[in-house]
Amino acid sequence: MSNMFLIGEISKLFQIDIRTLRYYDEIDLFKPTYVEDQTGYRYYSINQFERLNTILYLKALDIPLKEIKKFLDNREIDEILNLLREQQRRTEEKIQKFNHIHMKIRERIQQIEDVSKTEDLFKMRETWFPDRPIIMLKQKIHRNENLEMPIRFLENSNNLKSSIFLGQVGLTISIKELELGNNQEYNSLFVFVNPDIQLNFDSSVKCLPKNKYLTFRFVGTHADAAPYYEKLLVYIKQCGYSVVDDVIEITYIDYGLTNNISRFVTEIQIPLNH
């Protein structure tokens, strides 16, 4: 049987695992020409090489085995064109998905690197922010309250995925409560969103408008923010500014990223007249 090859020989010739060849046999994708009754040895013919080449080529294009088998059972130009066009479409979708993932990774790296700068901690800065789309949950939340349940409610009521929340959640203190000297209770929880995220029609979408903010970063979480408000309000008064909208607090780094509480970072953002 000079033109016949054992499974191990096929494995070496085509650099394919023996277990894969056995699986292809099981699913009727690439079966041996002959199986010896006594030994169970599988023998493949040289005439099958073209079929295996085609399988490996289409598999390298990430085409599902089920679709490869369907094509091999009905080889026609129109069939291969349809198969390749469909795979092209799926590949373009994957490219878009991975481009989006790449963008999110880049943005998160930049954010973590930025808020980790120790020289920017405990300093008041006047900063302009562009329009920022958010989804908001209007709810009274005490400063020491665990945020997990309000976050889950915001997520489920707006058809959001948990994966978008890490480092993107903020709280607001109403301007009225701030003027009364009450900074222990928040009036809403929100999450920053990208415009390309598919949202529920009833989503509580709002835009934080472009504005100048007095910002202040400190080590800690929302529970540690209260002592800094008096200092910030004194600065606002001395500079002749006034607060024009609800105050924002965002914890950028917490237990979601590190167990080291000395690396936690939260920022207060107070919108100013200009």
250: left (phi over 0), alpha (psi -120 to 50) or beta: beta
Please tell me the predicted confidence (pLDDT) of residue 119.
Answer: 93
- Enter the DSSP assignment of 163: G
- Which residue pairs from 156-164 have beta carbons closer than 8 angstroms and sit at least 24 positions apart in sequence? 157/200, 158/199, 158/200, 158/202, 158/203, 158/204, 159/198, 159/199, 159/200, 159/203, 160/135, 160/191, 160/193, 160/197, 160/199, 164/191, 164/193, 164/197
Tens-binned pLDDT, residue by residue, of the chain (274 aa): 568 999 999 999 999 999 999 999 999 999 999 999 889 899 999 999 999 999 999 999 999 999 999 999 999 999 999 999 999 999 999 999 999 889 888 988 998 999 999 999 999 999 999 999 888 888 899 888 888 888 888 888 777 766 555 557 899 999 988 888 888 899 999 988 875 555 544 456 788 999 999 999 999 999 999 999 999 999 999 999 999 999 999 999 988 889 999 999 999 999 999 7
Please tell me the predicted confidence (pLDDT) of residue 201.
Answer: 43
Please tell me the predicted confidence (pLDDT) of residue 220.
Answer: 94
Overall pTM > 0.75: no
